[in-house]
Every structure is written in C-alpha cells, then in structure tokens.
Amino acid sequence: MALKNSCYILTETVKFVIPNRGFSFHTLSKEHLALQKICRDFSEKHLKPIAARLDKKHEFPVKEIETLGQLGLLSINVKGKYGGSDQNTLGLAVAVEEIAKGCGGTGAIVSIHNCLYANLLDRFGNEKQKETFLKPFTKENLGCFALSEPDAGSDVGAMSATASLDGDKYILNGIKSWVTNGTQAKAAVVFATVNKNLKHKGITAFVIPIPIAGLSMGKLEDKLGIRASPTCTYIFDHVQVPKENVIGNVGEGFIIAMKQLEKARVGIASQALGIAQASLEVAVKYAAQRKAFGQPINQLQAVKLRLAEMATRLEAARLIVWRAAIMCDEQERTTKYTSMAKLVASEAATFVSHEAIQVLGGMGYVSDMPVERHYRDARITEIYAGVNDVQKLLIADAIIKEYED
C-alpha cells in the first residue's frame, strides 16, 4: 500500500497555543495515524525479527529498503510530481520513529536518505537535476550526503575538499568521512570549496552519480551501533563533475547544508524516539514477567520509579520533536526548535535504553535481549547531524537573539 500523493492536513480537534510565539500544536490527523500504522506494522513484521541479525552481521536490509521504497517511504517529503509521497515533516517524524523502533540502523538509512538527499534535491535542485537525480530515487535507489571530513566535522568552514573549475566542469579532490549509505548509494550530494580563503562562502554543493571515475571508497566503518546502516569514506581524486551538477549557485553550499541539517535533526530525533520506545517496551514487558521476592519486579518501588521516569522523558521528547516537525513547515528558520528536539530526544534515547538495561539486570547486558543493541544504537543520536554540545550553542544563540530583538 503506497502513500497517497497528498499533503497531510493537521486536525483542529485538539489545539494548544503557545503564547507570543504564533505556534499551534495539533494532534495527529487520520492520515498521520494511517501512516503510523503502516510503518508500525511493517516494522513489527519485517524489521524487528531480523534487527539482531542485521546488527551482528553488519548486514544491509536490501529487501526491506526496496519494500519501503514501494510504500513511498524513501520520498516522504518529496513532491508528488517527482514521484514523492508529498507529506509534511510531521509525517517524516512519525514514519522514522516507527521504523527505528523495529531497527535503529534501518531508521538511520531511511532518515538520512529522506532528509539529506531526497528532500534536499526537492528543495534546492533544478528541474534537470530532479529528473536525473531525484525521480529515480523516490522508489528504488538510495542517495547519500557527503559533508564531513576527517578534520572538518562541526567546523564545516575548515573544509579542505576542493572543486576547481576547468572549462565546463569542476575537478573534485579531497576526502569525505562518515558517509551514511555510502556503499549503497547510486548518487551523492557532495560539498567542496571553490576557494579556501572564502571559508563558508566558498563551499559549493554538487550532485554526482555513483560510481564515477576518480571516486573510491575507504573501508566500511566498524561501528558501535546502527550496524545495518553502512558508513564509509569517499576519496575524490580528480573527479570530473559537469557545471550543471552544481546545486543552487556556487558558494551557496554552506547555506544549503545548514538549512537541510535542520530537517535532518528532526529525522535523527525521531530515530532516537523509536529506539527509546523500543527500550521502554522491552523493560515494561520484562518487569511484568520477571519475579523477585515472590512478586513481579514491576511491583518493586525501585523498578516503578525507573519506568515512570523513562516514560515521562520519552513522552516529553516526542512532543518537542513533533513541535519542531510542525515548525519546519510553518516558518523559514527553525534552528532553535530542531536543535532542542535533537538534544532532548537523543538524550532521552540514551537515558531510556540505559535504564532498560538496569531493569533487565544481567539479561540487559547480553545479546539474547535487544536492549544492549538499543543502547548502542542510541549513542550515535547524540553525535551525528551535529553533536549535542553544538546544539546547545545553537539554542543559546537563538534565545539570546530573540531577547535582543
């Protein structure tokens, strides 16, 4: 069952108005609930049973990603005329959470492709680029996003990959690290500088097909978690890219990356929610079955207190993530909200998965139960799409600016 190519209309059934901020929070609409059910059913039936195997073997979920593409979940925020599902950002949040609940690695694959490839081209690509690099990627192929470098992560302005104009093409040289989906992608959005002296203003975005002459891949990273999601290094050695593959204008790459990372933070935060929800459910179920001192351990005060705080932090995180998702579609800049969402949700995922291990005790420490995997998967959500220390700085800067205005 594919998603309909129509925008979700948020219901007016329940509405909370945040004073002096022009923000309205709505319940999930019938369309969102239907999307949630599709993703939840798929996750329970197809992802949850194989998640441990994918993690252990570092195995890419080939068939499952193909099915998700057929369901319209590789193009959630892409316009219908390009083959997308034409949904809003709240739809993205709902879908990614449910997928990540079944498998954190698969949640990462879907989130990164949607946020940092498909939606990026939908927003900033020209018509020719959309025909070539977007339409074929809405149902089948995966794309990736190559921004970080070994010495340029949070400090994007320190980028050393270069793009030198040579007639009607650019020559790309340099290294890109931490490329999610890199080994599976058929195209990539790549950032390089046309002039290092210009720093941020020299950074330019390109879309390139994969494979392409001069591009080689480094080793597949052996990661702590989200092992179903492949991460590698891209090495560019005089890669020739036509001028027509520049996304936007020369020198606009930094702006494009920053705007798109706002959307990506919602995706990562939603992935964190799914991991946290899965952890909570395992803990609650185990606590009802495990007995100690003649009763289920869910009757012990210490366990009750853990479950209460786990559930509360998760619910609070979900509300702020959904708020940020709605804000992405209501105003131009949403840095404060998306940074808050990523910060709170990722910390909730780490906390809830940690507490789940404590509830399970020794069983939480072995791979017979999934919470040790959830804990490992949760850790990356505090790091990628901008480490949480940077998110705090972005939030603070936004608040200071608000009160100065």
The tens digit of pLDDT for each residue in 105-130 reads 999 999 999 999 999 999 999 999 99
Give the number of C-alpha atoms closer than 13 A to the C-alpha of residue 231, restricted to the C-beta side: 19
Which of the two residues, 192 and 17, has the higher pLDDT score? 192
Residue 331: CB partners within 8 Å, gap ≥ 6? Answer: none
Q: Which amino acid is at 12?
A: E
For the segment 41-56, what is each residue's pLDDT rounded down to a tens digit? 999 999 999 999 999 9
- Count other C-beta atoms under 10 Å from residue 349's C-beta: 34
CA distance 227 to 367: 14
Query: Where residue 332 falls among pLDDT bands split at 50, 70, 90?
Result: confident
Residue 383 has pLDDT above 90, yes or no: yes
Strand partners, 204: 192
pTM value is 0.92
Q: Round to whole Å and give the CA distance between 395 and 392.
A: 5
210: phi > 0 → left, psi -120 to 50 → alpha, else beta; which?
beta
How do residues 211-236 score in pLDDT, each as one tens digit?
A: 999 999 998 999 999 999 999 999 99
What is the overall mean pLDDT for the chain?
Answer: 92
- Cβ–Cβ under 8 Å, residues 168 and 182: no
Hey, what's the torsion of the CAs at 385, 388, 390, 392, to 10 degrees? 130
Place of tokens 């959307």: 263
Which residues are paired to 246 by β-bridges?
Answer: 206
What pLDDT, on a 0 to 100 scale, did the predictor assign at position 5? 39
Predicted confidence band of residue 6 (pLDDT cuts 50, 70, 90):
very low
Q: Is the pLDDT of residue 22 over 60?
A: no
Question: At 405, which amino acid appears?
Answer: D
**Does residue 25 carry a pLDDT above 90?**
no
Residue 3 clears pLDDT 70, i.e. is over it: no
358: left (phi over 0), alpha (psi -120 to 50) or beta: alpha
Q: Which of 68-77, 152-161, 239-248 has the lowest mean pLDDT?
A: 152-161
The owner of tokens 């994007």 is: 156
